[in-house]
Amino acid sequence: MRVFITAAAVLTSLLSLALAVPASADGAAITEVSTGLVAPGGARGNSSVIEIPDDASITHVGDQLQVLDANGTVLHTFAVEDPTPAAAAAPALKTGWITFASWMNNGNSPIKTFSTTWEVPPEPQAKDGQTVFLFNSIEPGKQNAILQPVLQFGPSAAGGGAYWSVASWWVGSSHTLHTKLVKVNPGATLHGLITLTAQNGDNFNYNSKFTNVGGTSLNVKNVSELKWATETLEAYRINKTADYPAGKTVFSGINLKLANGNVPSVKWNTAQDSKDGIKTTVNKDGAKDAEITITY
């Protein structure tokens, strides 16, 4: 994201308090908290962070953002506001997007599916209240939003603690929405999938989920085309190397397919954190069964 994040954006400090919980007629509910807790995707400015039910939908209607349950019932409506610019990147130990691989789809056909498989790392040796995010993601060409199935260690705006958990996130210009965190164990295999589900002119619908973890499905409707694909390590409150997991994380089975049925020609670009010794290596390039390693 570029209105509220850069590739090394910084988030604000912990300030958040729970607010009211609007509910639909069938009892489904969302939970809204004020800004301040870390979220994958960048600085949140004056935004809100909202937990929504599994398989709920986020849709833009004019100048409003609506959250609908799986049956189409409107749970809540928000005004879409201008974002607050992100703060400048912090020096090492680096904060924000630490290291990543990326590819921009500049072709005429949008990305239809983007999938990645990886293993939950061991817990970091140090427990310093740090937050570590690992994810595959897609952003619009303007990089002012992000959709991502996220593995998280530590606290965030979604909750969590000194353990690994997963959720899907949509980080927009004025609101951050996520599914409920689901705890996962080190050594578990994750399969993150982002899918284009419909297109009507310049409006696109997408779904993000972990295909093998229930409760992580998030739908986003009537948004701009998502073009910039990444495999990313993002982290906050990192004081020493031991705040990261030991070893490496291998993103494997990386597959991209276009809406026209073709497999795009992909060359992954990398951004490194050489000063801290954290790096991204492209082991196998391309859009079919690619492999990318992040070494801590």
Higher pLDDT, 93 or 18: 93
Higher pLDDT, 36 or 144: 144
Lowest-confidence range among 1-5, 225-229, 276-280? Answer: 1-5
238, 64 in Cβ contact below 8 A?
Answer: no
What's the CA gap between 168 and 6, in Å, rounded? 20
* % of the chain residues with pLDDT over 90: 64
What's the CA gap between 34 and 102, in Å, rounded? 31
Answer yes or no: is pLDDT of 166 > 80: yes
Paired tokens of 99? 């290291």
**Residue 63 pLDDT grade (very low, low, confident, very high; cuts 50, 70, 90):** low
The predicted-structure confidence for 20-41, as pLDDT tens digits, reads as follows 222 222 334 555 554 456 788 6
Q: pTM score, two decimals?
A: 0.83
Residue 160: helix, strand or coil by DSSP? coil
**Residue 193 pLDDT grade (very low, low, confident, very high; cuts 50, 70, 90):** very high
What's the CA gap between 135 and 275, in Å, rounded? 22
The predicted-structure confidence for 106-119, as pLDDT tens digits, reads as follows 999 999 999 999 99
Q: Residue 155: what pLDDT?
A: 94
Which is nearest to 147 in space by CA: 223, 66, 84, 201?
A: 223
Answer yes or no: is pLDDT of 148 > 60: yes
Lowest-confidence range among 1-10, 85-94, 119-128, 259-268? Answer: 1-10
**Span 256-277, average pLDDT:** 96
What's the CA gap between 3 and 213, in Å, rounded? 31
What's the CA gap between 68 and 24, in Å, rounded? 9
Q: What would the DSSP string read from start to end of 253-290?
A: EEEEEETTSPPP----EEE-BGGGTBEEEEEE-SSSSE
Q: Report the Cα–Cα distance between both ends of the chain, in Å, rounded.
A: 24
Domain architecture of the chain: domains with CATH: 98-172+182-295 (2.60.120)
